[in-house]
Structure 1
Amino acid sequence: MVANATLPEELILQIVSRATVKTVGRCRCVSTVWRSLFSDPQFAKSHFQVSPKHQALIFLRDEKLKRVDFDLSNTASFEKESLVVRDLKAPFGHTWLRFLRSCNGLVALADFGQFLGKEESLFIWNPSTGFLKKLPSRRSNEKFIFGFGCASSSDEYKLLVGAKIFSFKTNSWKPIEMPPSCRRFDRGYGVLCRDALYWRPLYPVQGQDLYAFNLEKEEFSIMKLPEAFQTGRANSYSVIRDHRVTCDGCLFVMDETPVWDGGCAVEYHREFWVMREYGNSDSWTRSFGVKIPCPKQSGLRSSPLNFGAISVMETSAFVRNEAKEEEQKLMSTTYYRYEEENPHMYMIESGSCQKVVYEESLYCLA
């Protein structure tokens, strides 16, 4: 019998890289050698690429952080099960907290404490590992636009706040030239797709498009919306409710059009348009649509739902409704199906506009 037999280090790395973040954390406690091995930045990168994807929704309710885990590979379970809402502890205050977006399991957030006479605080946080990095002051009060992402070719993370951009390689802020229309971006939170951040106009009208910021070149440009948005929709009350990235890595926009009867909205049509070929505005394709009935009290100035997309697949969507605000331990899902097209949409009642979706990872930024 062979005593003290050990596996080759390369094989150990391959095995553990396919484990969950929680399991890797336990492996780090085995020995100092394993702690060093599984804390290496290159291992974090390979782990994120090959480990099973696990997503979670973090949101703020009554100044308390909450977390909901979900499995997008099994959306059918949303019809039968309620999602569990858990309390989440964090090493920072929550009073003026704002989630600025996430990238590779890292969440950019801000505490705009100027309202209380305090200095603004900006952080990068990994909810899975507890990693937290406070950024140096940017010495500016402008905060009408936000964005966080990684330039893949240089592997450089950057945070855009107001008219300044922070580089995690140089650990410093620098000013950038902003387009005149940037103050009209909706909520100002940029969506990361490939190496660019995207914003939609606050009040989309005929002829308006998405604005893009290339993280590598640090330049703004315009991305054309689908041709259907440019013609015939100016007076139809259609609104671009959200834009995100599909599970396949494609940019999409979610459009809403109310159907009126006697001055009241009786239902809302939600359409999902996907850019099949990245960077090619001619490749926008209507993926599917869903019809959602409205409560009887819904009128001209009231919308029964305030949708935001969490994830979109080829013929299904997972969305949240921010309009419902109530304390709950279970988060139920509402299932919608449009018989004419056979798509599926699952809606959760998150009841908070301060939220972020992230994928678990081991990443940290020195």
Structure 2
Amino acid sequence: MNPVERKCVLSVPNDLVQDILSRLGVKDLLRLRCINKEWRTFIDDTNFIRKHYDAQHSICKGKGNGNMPHFVYNGGDSETFCLVYVQQGEMITLNLNADLERDSKDVVVDDRDRDRDRYDIISDGCVNGIICLNWKHRDTELNNFLSLWNPATREFKAIAYPNMPPLIQRSHFEVYGFGFDPLSNDFKILGLYSITEFSCYYEMYSLQNNCWKRLREPKADIGGIPMPTTDGYLNGVYYWTAEISGGHLVIVSLNFSTEVFEVSDPPQDAVSLHASQIYPSQTTITLYKECLALAISHTVQEEALLYSIDIWVVTRFDDCGVPLSWQHLFTVEPVHANSGLQLAASRLDGHLLISSLFPSEDCASDQDSECWLYNPSTTKYTKLETDFCTWFRYLESLFPLSKRLDQV
């Protein structure tokens, strides 16, 4: 940059520069970091990184089609990681397997101990463009580990499991929540060690401190919280549904800043619907548009295998993110499904990704699935040619996984 160009750039107000740069993609910004130390410092600033992510989210929402890509993990024989767009009812899939192999090659070494082909990789969440993955070795649990991955910046960080207590195998450790602490700008992972069916304890990992610490359990007598399969994180808090003694449905939340569990009541009509089901209903905490939502799948006509889903959203939170009031939004148009419905995810425009399990024709004991895109405004279903295991909203970001982006 010559002196004239430099003078012109410096004469532009800082707020305007931030606004212009926040509209650029991550790849463009990474190139601009190479101009000089001032640009690098500017783009690496924590406030700008958050401003850029918020701006990209607004741009995506402003397109009017809710076309934020979903990060998808397909289990089984077709274990793939993808970004899935839905445009005019058609699926556009970008396979991320080659990207993951490229970015993790320095950590997952192809040797006798860490042959990447011997790992089952599970997605445990996606927040602010960072994907949390759980690497489970098929032969030895000692090689299990977690990782955080930013596909846009190609940063990959391996994370060891927390130190396990005596007599507990690593196979009993699972990730139950992944989120971002906005007060400390820190990504955190909630893990759980199961000791017995009725005994467990929680560990919290901090990316900023690069260590684990034990958390106090929820005060209520909770039988267990489900592992995440879709978005349960919102504004620094993670949410689950759970049951306390007597089968009573409750909402469990964990504030990533205070690192304290809270238990609250869902709407009463949701409690009644949940309790009325002869067979266990699919009860899911997820996001609807930009609100925290509770979805309960239930039978409409059991003999006809007719199912529906009711959706509630939170209308008011307390200062710690605990839901205080709910509103019932709508009931999904009933549809035939041999083994019930499950809400997989929702797009920014409110369209729902809904899956149905049904017995495989080749083997009645196996379970396949099919997926629909549901439009609440028209109550129309569009069948999608895809299979899935977990869905999380993904939007590329500059959020760093190391101090590399902070250095000048």
* TM-score band, normalised by shorter chain: 0.7 to 0.9
Q: Distance in 2 between matches of 1:48 and 1:35?
A: 17
**SS of 1:134's equivalent?**
strand
- 1:167 maps to 206
1:121 aligns with 2:136: no
Cα distance change on mapping 1:21 and 1:344 into 2, 3 Å? farther
Q: Which runs of 5+ in 2 are unaligned?
A: 61-67, 105-115, 165-169, 193-201, 361-369, 403-408
CA contact 1:213–1:219 (8 Å) conserved in 2:
yes
- 2:21 maps to 16
- Post-superposition Cα deviations, 1:296-328, rounded to whole Å, max 9, x if no partner, equal xx3xxx33x444123365xx3331537489xxx
1:252 aligns with 2:252: no
**Alignment match of 1:243 (pick from 275, 285, 298):** 285
1:78 aligns with 2:88: yes
1:224 aligns with 2:268: no
- 1:185 maps to 225
Cα distance change on mapping 1:345 and 1:101 into 2, 3 Å? farther
One-letter amino acid matched to 2:186 = E
Q: Distance in 1 between matches of 2:92 and 2:226?
A: 29
**Alignment match of 1:55 (pick from 69, 77, 85):** 69
**SS of 2:53's equivalent?**
helix
- The Cα shift of 1:32 comes to 6.8
- 1:109 maps to 133
One-letter amino acid matched to 1:154 = S
Q: Identity rate of aligned residues, in percent?
A: 19
- 2:327 maps to 285
Q: Distance in 1 between matches of 2:383 and 2:35?
A: 41
CA contact 1:226–1:282 (8 Å) conserved in 2:
no
- The Cα shift of 1:30 comes to 5.7
Cα distance change on mapping 1:269 and 1:203 into 2, 3 Å? farther
- The Cα shift of 1:111 comes to 0.6
TM-score w.r.t. length of structure 1: 0.78
**Alignment match of 2:49 (pick from 34, 41, 44):** 44
Cα distance change on mapping 1:86 and 1:107 into 2, 3 Å? closer
- The Cα shift of 1:124 comes to 1.1
**SS of 1:8's equivalent?**
helix
CA contact 1:165–1:175 (8 Å) conserved in 2:
yes
Structural mapping, 1:124-143, within 5 Å: 124-140=148-164, 141=170, 142-143=172-173
CA contact 1:319–1:345 (8 Å) conserved in 2:
no
Cα distance change on mapping 1:187 and 1:157 into 2, 3 Å? closer
Q: Distance in 2 between matches of 1:145 and 1:223?
A: 22
Cα distance change on mapping 1:268 and 1:173 into 2, 3 Å? same
Q: Distance in 1 between matches of 2:190 and 2:371?
A: 34
Cα distance change on mapping 1:150 and 1:346 into 2, 3 Å? farther
- 1:5 maps to 5
**SS of 2:48's equivalent?**
helix
**SS of 2:261's equivalent?**
strand
- The Cα shift of 1:285 comes to 0.9
CA contact 1:289–1:343 (8 Å) conserved in 2:
no
CA contact 1:256–1:271 (8 Å) conserved in 2:
yes
Q: Distance in 2 between matches of 1:136 and 1:87?
A: 23
**SS of 1:18's equivalent?**
coil
**Alignment match of 1:201 (pick from 239, 242, 255):** 242
One-letter amino acid matched to 1:165 = M
**Alignment match of 2:388 (pick from 342, 352, 357):** 352
One-letter amino acid matched to 1:229 = A
Q: Distance in 2 between matches of 1:206 and 1:96?
A: 33
TM-score w.r.t. length of structure 2: 0.71
Q: Distance in 2 between matches of 1:251 and 1:232?
A: 19
CA contact 2:289–2:347 (8 Å) conserved in 1:
yes
- Post-superposition Cα deviations, 1:86-109, rounded to whole Å, max 9, x if no partner, equal 354203447321111122111111
1:273 aligns with 2:312: yes
